[in-house]
Structure 1
Amino acid sequence: MGDAAQALEQVWRDQWGRLLALLVAQYRRLDLAEDGLAEAFEAAVRTWAADGIPTNPAAWLLTAARRRVLDRLRAEAVAARKEPLLAVDAEVSQRAARVMADPGGLVEDERLRLVFLCAHPALERSAASALTLRLVLGVPTEDVARLFLVSRPTMAARLTRAKRRLAASGAPFRVPSPGELPGRLATLAEVVYLAFTAGYAPGSGPDVVRVAVAGEAIRLTRLLRELLPGDPVLDLLLALMLLQHSRRDARADADGLPILLPDQDRQRWHHDEISEALFVLAPYVGRPVAGREGSYLAQALIAAEHATAPTAADTRWDRIAGHYAELESLAPSPVVTLNRAVAVAEADGPRAGLSLLEGLDDRMPESHRLPAVRAELLARAGDTDGARTAYERAISLCGNDAERRHLVSRLEELKG
């Protein structure tokens, strides 16, 4: 990949949501903002390769996107008939000027407003979550589809319907009032956790982890906690994400291949984040909780068991399996069952884990992780032929380059 393409990909990952939020704040048109920014990125592919990478890539893209939005507004005659839509209040103007000078200092408030816009009550929770992933964080539609266990065309259609419904609702671009916030919490929590998952376990691309995306989800959670201090859902969600994100620097080797949890260098974990997470989690341990709070607590307790084990051999898999069983009763899903199977296999042997995988194929037809887990457990159980077949299936479904290379290496080991 050339320098221009690499720079553009980096700006996409780091700045897409920020730039889109600024455009929506200025023009109050989500559809035009998204189209204008996408067209600016397309123009950058051609221009940067020929003329070189601009000194301020984000500012270049913002200027190009604004031009395209204004062109569309003129074409629609909006500039003549709806002049107020083009008026930018003094605060937004000042922030835009600061962005042009320092794109890394983009104001958090606009991005948070965009999150609330996507999580508007006019949308179903799943649609709001998917739209936030796509628009705020720039997660590819293919990866959003994988998170929801649907095909790419299905997700593309859902996103289109969600944008149309949002536009028709006349949803305001603002942070809700304090009285509105509690009613939006369930959607917001799901949004940020799915955003974190998109960074922690990306379904496609070259990376084992997209640190910027996962870090942005944590940042958004911190902002939401400032708006709703002491809320159990946000406390538990922050603890869970910090515990998982603390391992980011140990999850891939120098060649970009994933390092499995038992083989990670625990000295490279971010122990300050683990300590913060355990502090936030402590008041909830042993406290009876249910519903969404209970599901986040169970997941956080699982992550805490991994984070506090001095070595892989010291991991208390029986406790982890128990927490997964509780999680499955609170928030049943094929992904939870899959993860429980891994824990049960560690605690009680591969055959016990394999028995929990029965019936999951119809519920996870597009997921490479199901056949990958099955392959590993079959290999441990001594069924080499079955493991090879499962690895071949996993490789055919895997869209993440690093994970695919790992699966290929495991298959080659079995063939050898």
Structure 2
Amino acid sequence: MAPRVLGALVRRYGHFATAEDAVQEALLAAAVQWPKEGMPDNPRGWLITVAARRLTDLLRSEQARRRREDAAAAWTLPDEWLSPAADQLVPASDDTLVLLFMCCHPSLSPASQIALTLRAVGGLTTAEIARAFLVPEATMARRITRAKQRVKDSGLRFRLPGEPERAERLGAVLHVLYLIFNEGYASTSGPDLQRAELTAEAIRLARLVHRLLPDNPEVAGLLALMLLTDARRPARTGPDGALIPMAEQDRGLWNAAQIEEGIALVSEALAQRTPGPYQLQAAIAAVHDEAPTADQTDWPQITALYEMLMRISGNPMVALNHAVAVAMSQGPRAGLDRLERLRSDERVAGDHRMYAVRAHLLEMDGDPMAAREAYEEAARRATSFPQQRYLHGRAARLKSSGEG
């Protein structure tokens, strides 16, 4: 909800950084008042009203912005934003979509585009964004601050860019949505494995971009990937919030409607014969989702798809997943050999996922002692509490079985 409130304020007032401060203060006011007084009928309208008032106050304190202050003070909220049904309205020129393309302006570096959008549109904290980029939090904070200043100095109008500009910014836009979705599906920190509000927002925005560019196969591929992945969400955690790996999930809980929609999208996109990374990842997700049981997963096909993906992507996580697919299709020793080649890649060498994969493959290979040590190291490096609990549990199970 916060990105939509920010988008509404920026569209009406400009002042990106000041509007963001006003929205944060409105959210703090909501956190204090709503538990005592109850949630208003239209939370979004309430937040916009409070943020608009706070923004007006902030503008009054800036003598150099008197003209903008007059316009802000005279502004009244449109009636449709104050109605209880406002949260169900998704206009074609959705403010959040405009804000998304605005943050991906070419005057910013690709890294700054993504960081700023994750902060302003995705609502991620600076620490979460830093972990997504594998950089220190202080470095990311400076990057976001500089990006805000560049947007402010550019005098950019709050509008959806024309077709040429859209194409120029699309790669960054899609990558931003991909990272927002990933943070929601597998949170990098905190007590919960998933943040459904982030995955829902990423899917919503991907649908808007797909509506804007219905013939773009990578846009369709990204939306398909999100739907096919999110379809498994109901089965990923137990009643206590514990992580359940895909091989052990109750596939009857998977969202069949999302799987059907995702398969249709990726099939249509791949038919254009211009495969890209999102289409290939969606195809991999489709193979998983179509398997009636874990044992019936077509691992040779998944391995081949990862090999295609590796040829067009330098992402070390792709190579890590490829090692798993190789292990499942050719045996754990083959996967461990692939994993060994990644140990020199600093981008992934210290990541908990490297140790978790190694532990799983060592366990498959019949080396429980080494597997337990790798699980324990993965747990020490993980920042998500559910992931830590899962990894500690795997290590403890191997220890108890070894003692028995």
Q: TM-score, normalised by structure 1?
A: 0.87
Change (3 A) 1:20 1:285: closer
* Residue 252 (structure 1) aligns with: 237
Q: Where does structure 1 lack aligned partners over 5 or more consecutive residues?
A: 1-14
Is the Cα–Cα contact under 8 Å of residues 252 and 259 in structure 1 kept in the other structure?
yes
Spell out the pairing of 1:253-268 with structure 2 (5 A cutoff). Answer: 253-268=238-253
The residue matched to 2:239 in structure 1 has which SS? coil
The corresponding residue for 1:62 is 48
In the other structure, the counterpart of 1:176 is 161
Q: Does 1:137 align with 2:122?
A: yes
Structure-2 separation of matches of 1:248 and 1:220:
19
Corresponding residue for residue 57 of structure 2: 71
Closer, same or farther in 2 for the Cα pair 1:79/1:54, shift >3 Å?
farther
What SS does structure 1 have at the residue aligned with 2:348?
A: coil
- 1:155-304 to structure 2, matched below 5 A, reads 155-285=140-270, 288-289=273-274, 293-304=275-286
Of 340, 364, 375, the residue aligned with 1:380 is 364
Aligned residues: 395
1:104 aligns with 2:104: no
| Worse-matched range after superposition: 196-205 or 106-115 | 106-115
CA contact (8 A) 1:305 1:320 kept: yes
Counterpart selection for 2:288 from 306, 309, 316: 306
Structure 1 residues 273 and 82, CA gap change in structure 2 (3 angstroms): closer
Q: Confirm whether residue 320 of structure 1 aligns to residue 297 of structure 2.
A: no
Which deviates more, 381-390 or 140-149?
A: 381-390
C-alpha displacement of 1:80 = 2.4
Give the corresponding residue for 1:128: 113
Partner of 1:5: none
Q: Report what 1:35 is aligned to.
A: 21
TM-fit CA distance, 1:28: 0.9
Matched ranges for 1:8-19 at <5 A: 15-19=1-5
Deviation at 1:320, TM superposition (A): 0.7
What is the DSSP-based 3-state SS (H/G/I as helix, E as strand, rest coil) of the residue aligned with 1:363? helix
Question: Residue 180 of structure 1 aligns to which amino acid in structure 2?
Answer: E
Q: 2:218 touches 2:269 (CA, 8 Å); kept in 1?
A: no
TM-score between the two structures when normalised by the length of structure 2: 0.89
**Which residue type is aligned with residue 187 of structure 2?**
P
Question: Which shows bigger deviation, 104-113 or 323-332?
Answer: 104-113
Tell me the residue number matched to 2:346: 362
Q: Distance in 2 between matches of 1:151 and 1:242?
A: 31
Task: Report the AA paired with residue 21 of structure 2.
Answer: D
- Checking the alignment, whether the CA contact within 8 Å between 2:10 and 2:19 is kept in structure 1 is yes
Q: What letter is aligned with 1:257?
A: A
**Aligned-pair distance for 1:140?**
2.1
Describe the superposition over 1:217-243 as per-residue Cα deviations: whole angstroms up to 9, x where unpaired: 122122112222211111222222221
Equivalent pair of 1:150/1:366 in contact (CA under 8 Å): no
- Aligned CA distance change for structure 1 residues 60 and 336 (closer, same or farther; 3 Å): same
Change (3 A) 1:282 1:43: closer
Native 8 Å contact 1:26 1:88 kept in 2:
no
Paired with 1:135 and 1:335, the residues of 2 have a C-alpha distance of 26
CA contact (8 A) 2:217 2:272 kept: no
Shift of 1:278: 1.8
Distance apart, 1:319 and its partner CA = 1.2
Q: Is the 8 A contact 1:32 1:72 kept in 2?
A: yes
C-alpha change, 1:44 and 1:235, in structure 2 (3 Å) is: closer
2:219 aligned partner, one-letter code: L
